[in-house]
Structure 1
Amino acid sequence: MSRPLDTALLHTFIAVADTRSFTAAGRRLHLSQSAVSAQVVRLEEQVGCALLVRNTRNVALTDHGDMLLGYARAMLNLSEEARSRLGTGDTYSGKLRIGVSEDFAGGWLADAIRRFSVARRGLLLDLTVDIGDHLFRRHANGDFDLVIGSRCAPLNHGVTLWREPLAWAFARHEPLPEGDVPLACFPDPCPFREAAVKALTLAGMPYRVACESPSATGVHTFARAGIAIAPLPRCMIDDELRELGAAEGLPELPDVEFVMLVDEDMAPAVEFAEMIFDEVHARMGTRATRHGRARPKPD
């Protein structure tokens, strides 16, 4: 009779699959890289096939690994649900109000929210996706317990998760449009739009807002179609877009700062913030900073 799959090994496998890195998975799980590797090997021995392809640059899922990933998530979710129904897990109450800017809402954040929700049975999560400046103002008014958003100008409060360049993004295979620079932007107030307009104005380059969309999908669509040029964080430039710059006559853009504001008096908000800190550190190897000072590493 075959042995049941070890849920601890499944946790490790999911962490590697999410981060595409043994080192990053180790940071998330507070394990050494060698321990993560050993657990993956044990899981591969249990299932009788290779789950990951490893090389010096990255980690990728095999076909079997991709298949197991869905089952692994379902199995762990069922395990948590069983604990919840049996009343053997920790119970939480109340609501956590989270605001996230459009440029941060995709990618790994959804999985982090899912894991946080599963681990805190009874806590209601209320998520709002909006433009960063709107969220920062609403947080100041008490509408949110935690906000993650982006700015091109420094904040004098909150925590900086990371910085990266703001870049000009355009269709990979389309010719550049002639005449005034056509922009694809989020509606005002938008830090990317403001930075792009300021840079073009200082460079004496005429521009026009050719396309406006409240969603990242819309802005990407206009840029991919070759209709307009979008100012975007470099991490949002996918395989269908190319980065433009000085070679195309465009001015340099400032860095984007991803910022988190947290209600320090609300325990669930602080707990979720810690998860975000660890996730950013696991994926990027950077530590968040608060008011220009490094956030101390946990003991």
Structure 2
Amino acid sequence: MLNLQQLQSFLTLQQTGSFTLAAERLGVGQSTVSQHIQRLEKTLGKQLIERNTHKVGLTAEGEALIGYARGMLEIDGKVMALFDEGRLRGRLRFGISEDVVANRLSDILEQFTRLHPLVDLELTVALSATLYQMQAAGDLDIVLAKRRLGERHGVALYREPLVWLARDPERFAASSEPLPLIAFPPPSLTRKIAQETLDSNGIAWRIVCTCGSLTGLTAAARAGMGVLVQPRSMAPSGLREVVGGHLPPLEEVEFVLVPSRGADRALIEALSKEIRTRILPSSIGD
């Protein structure tokens, strides 16, 4: 019989790519996670984890186990909820900025829905400024988005710098033409910061691609159309940072949680807990 604790350690290790981060997320020692994986591998008679000095990956057998492990833990959560009148119930309207969706959202949702299967989570993805407008209108219960340094709304989770990204940074660094920008539409915070930074440094620019989806912006940047601005830890694959002083440094932004007044405090705190646990940027490996 498979052990649910061992399966949870296996899934958390797969999500984080690190024994250290998996242990921190689960609130146990690193040796406990290692023991869980070893016992699970012994039970199945298969190696599930590939280990090297750079990262932790899955074998083919490990990849095959993921779906079944998730299913078993989901069933366990639903059974526990069925017989536990104290479990959280209700509806929670969650707004999240586009760039966070592409990088962190899956882990947050997976754990939250497993722990609170009776909560109906309504998800809205939009630009930070748009989410704040919707929240002010009473359409959202909690928002995870960005703010500029010095702004006071919300509870700060962490801060990091914005960076210039391109497929071929050298091409734009050496060009005398106006800098081609790939950006979200107004009222995008990253767009505004990029334009203000270029203007204050006397650098000409032009918008060559506007899209409300980070997937679309990333495709344009990977096609070599121009330069994209993103938080450093959320840089899409296939793009490199423009370094060497060719473009002026961009300011830092803060990622914040903004709960709404009147929202269910128990639901807000439950989701906030999972976000705080999983939102911080981290390196892969031990």
Map Cα deviations across residues 130-171 of structure 1 (whole Å, 9 max, x no partner).
Answer: 101121233234322111012333321322212222111111
Residue 153 of structure 1 is matched in structure 2 by: 149
Which secondary structure state, in structure 2, belongs to the residue aligned with residue 103 of structure 1?
A: helix
Contact 2:112 2:271 in 1 (8 A): yes
Matched, 1:203 2:201: yes
CA offset at residue 233 of structure 1? Answer: 1.3
Letter in 2 for 1:104: V
Contact 2:184 2:191 in 1 (8 A): yes
Matched, 1:14 2:30: no
CA–CA distance in structure 2, aligned partners of residues 155 and 37 of structure 1: 43
Letter in 2 for 1:146: I
CA–CA distance in structure 2, aligned partners of residues 199 and 173 of structure 1: 18
Map Cα deviations across residues 225-255 of structure 1 (whole Å, 9 max, x no partner).
Answer: 11121111112323311111345x2111111
Matched, 1:36 2:38: no
CA–CA distance in structure 2, aligned partners of residues 217 and 279 of structure 1: 22
Segment drifting more, 199-208 vs 229-238: 229-238
CA–CA distance in structure 2, aligned partners of residues 172 and 155 of structure 1: 34
Higher relative contact order (CA closer than 8 Å, sequence separation 6+): 2
Contact 1:246 1:252 in 2 (8 A): no
Residues 232 and 174 of structure 1, relative CA distance in 2, 3 Å threshold: same
Matches within 5 A, 1:184-203: 184-203=182-201
Contact 1:154 1:257 in 2 (8 A): no
Letter in 2 for 1:145: D
Which secondary structure state, in structure 2, belongs to the residue aligned with residue 251 of structure 1?
A: coil
CA–CA distance in structure 1, aligned partners of residues 206 and 65 of structure 2: 49
Residue 269 of structure 1 is matched in structure 2 by: 268
Map Cα deviations across residues 239-284 of structure 1 (whole Å, 9 max, x no partner).
Answer: 311111345x211111121111124752101111011112236x64
CA–CA distance in structure 2, aligned partners of residues 276 and 116 of structure 1: 9
Contact 2:111 2:274 in 1 (8 A): no
Q: Give me the TM-score of the superposition, normalised by structure 2.
A: 0.89
Matched, 1:71 2:68: yes
Q: How many positions carry a matched residue from both structures?
A: 278
CA offset at residue 82 of structure 1? Answer: 4.5
Matches within 5 A, 1:46-61: 46-61=43-58
Which secondary structure state, in structure 2, belongs to the residue aligned with residue 5 of structure 1?
A: coil
Residues 60 and 154 of structure 1, relative CA distance in 2, 3 Å threshold: farther
Matched, 1:88 2:87: no
Letter in 2 for 1:8: Q
RMSD between aligned residues: 2.2
Contact 1:158 1:260 in 2 (8 A): yes
CA–CA distance in structure 2, aligned partners of residues 180 and 134 of structure 1: 29
| 5+ long unaligned stretches in structure 1 | 286-299
Which secondary structure state, in structure 2, belongs to the residue aligned with residue 118 of structure 1?
A: helix
Contact 1:245 1:251 in 2 (8 A): no
CA–CA distance in structure 1, aligned partners of residues 108 and 199 of structure 2: 40
Contact 1:167 1:234 in 2 (8 A): yes
CA–CA distance in structure 2, aligned partners of residues 139 and 60 of structure 1: 40
Letter in 1 for 2:54: R
Segment drifting more, 188-197 vs 111-120: 111-120
CA–CA distance in structure 1, aligned partners of residues 170 and 225 of structure 2: 9
Matched, 1:103 2:99: yes
